[in-house]
């Protein structure tokens, strides 16, 4: 009896928190299903509102955070989450780069609130939608919209084994090569952010004859200047290029800088 209790106590505790997001990255965790069996004996998910009615208080060994920080309440809550988590991991484009909701960062938020809500006085929000790392130190980031469940499994397995996670930081182009995909840009003149986007999706969009949208954010050394020049050679206007960089990872600084450069050049003409 006591030995079983001791074994249970030795399991790493995991807490899953949600901020401004669509829940897609949390669903990636639930979709692991059978894959979780390989590590279930070493972890104990003690806080997960998406999947459980039992919520245990911290501290936690691993805190997984989905979503960006968009409200005053979330800005305070993420501080508490950081204090409660020995290791803090951000999941997905929202948590790592502000997500789709970061598109508001270039607009008048107050105007948007007045337009959308009948009683805007009841709405309290921050001017910007920002990644978690702009508020607290983050130990590891998992990219994607949503994240790859296999990368999440690798992260958890590596953490339990005390080794560095084997998460690629090279571009989607590498995944296209492995799948024997013909380059859409070279063969068809299709705009594609694959050369500047981090791998992780398995080149999903290019495999279905669509250019990469940049879901996994900037790769380790993105040459966005060359990407902009290529898009222009393909006949894309500066507004079109700006929109291309402002999607799932719009507030990632490399993509943000590229989109703002195009925007400024258009206005300077």
pLDDT tens digit sequence for 141-194: 999 999 999 999 999 999 999 999 999 999 999 999 999 999 999 999 999 999
What pLDDT, on a 0 to 100 scale, did the predictor assign at position 1? 47
Is there a contact between 231 and 206 (Cβ–Cβ < 8 Å)? no
Query: Which residues in 98-252 belong to E strands, given as ranges?
Result: 140-142
What pLDDT, on a 0 to 100 scale, did the predictor assign at position 206? 97
Whole-prediction pTM: 0.90
Nearest to 20 by CA among 122, 90, 120: 90
| Residue written as token pair 């919209």 | 145
CATH class of 2-161: alpha beta
Band the pLDDT of 212: cuts 50, 70, 90: very high
pLDDT beyond 70 at 6 = no
Cα distances (angstroms) measured from residue 103 to each of 106, 188, 247, 256: 6, 29, 8, 10
pLDDT tens digit sequence for 31-82: 888 887 778 788 999 999 988 888 999 999 999 999 999 999 999 999 999 9
What pLDDT, on a 0 to 100 scale, did the predictor assign at position 9? 61
More confident residue, 10 or 204: 204
Neighbour tally for 258: CB within 10 Å: 24
Q: Where are the domains of the chain?
A: 2-161, 172-268
């Amino acid at each position: 009896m006591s030995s079983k209790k001791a074994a249970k106590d030795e399991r790493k505790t995991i807490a899953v928190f949600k901020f401004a997001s669509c829940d897609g990255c949390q669903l990636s965790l639930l979709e692991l299903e059978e894959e979780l069996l390989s590590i279930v004996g070493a972890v104990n998910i003690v806080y997960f509102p998406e999947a459980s009615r039992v919520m245990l208080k911290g501290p936690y060994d691993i805190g997984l955070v989905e979503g960006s920080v968009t409200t005053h309440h979330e800005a305070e809550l993420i501080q508490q989450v950081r204090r409660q988590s020995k290791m803090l991991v951000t999941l997905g484009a929202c948590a790592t780069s502000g997500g789709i909701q970061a598109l508001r960062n270039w607009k008048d938020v107050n105007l948007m609130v007045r337009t959308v809500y009948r009683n805007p006085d009841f709405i309290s929000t921050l001017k910007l939608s920002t990644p978690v790392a702009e508020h607290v130190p983050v130990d590891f980031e998992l990219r994607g919209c949503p994240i790859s469940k296999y990368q999440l499994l690798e992260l958890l397995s590596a953490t339990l084994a005390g080794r560095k996670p084997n998460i690629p930081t090279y571009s989607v182009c590498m995944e296209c090569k492995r799948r024997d995909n013909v380059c859409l840009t070279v063969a068809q003149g299709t705009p594609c952010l694959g050369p500047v986007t981090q791998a992780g999706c398995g080149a999903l969009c290019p495999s279905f004859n669509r250019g990469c949208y940049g879901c996994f954010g900037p790769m380790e050394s993105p040459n966005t200047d060359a990407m902009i020049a290529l898009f222009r050679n393909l006949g894309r206007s500066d507004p079109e290029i700006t929109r291309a960089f402002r999607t799932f990872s719009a507030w990632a600084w490399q993509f943000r800088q590229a989109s703002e450069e195009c925007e400024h050049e258009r206005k300077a003409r």
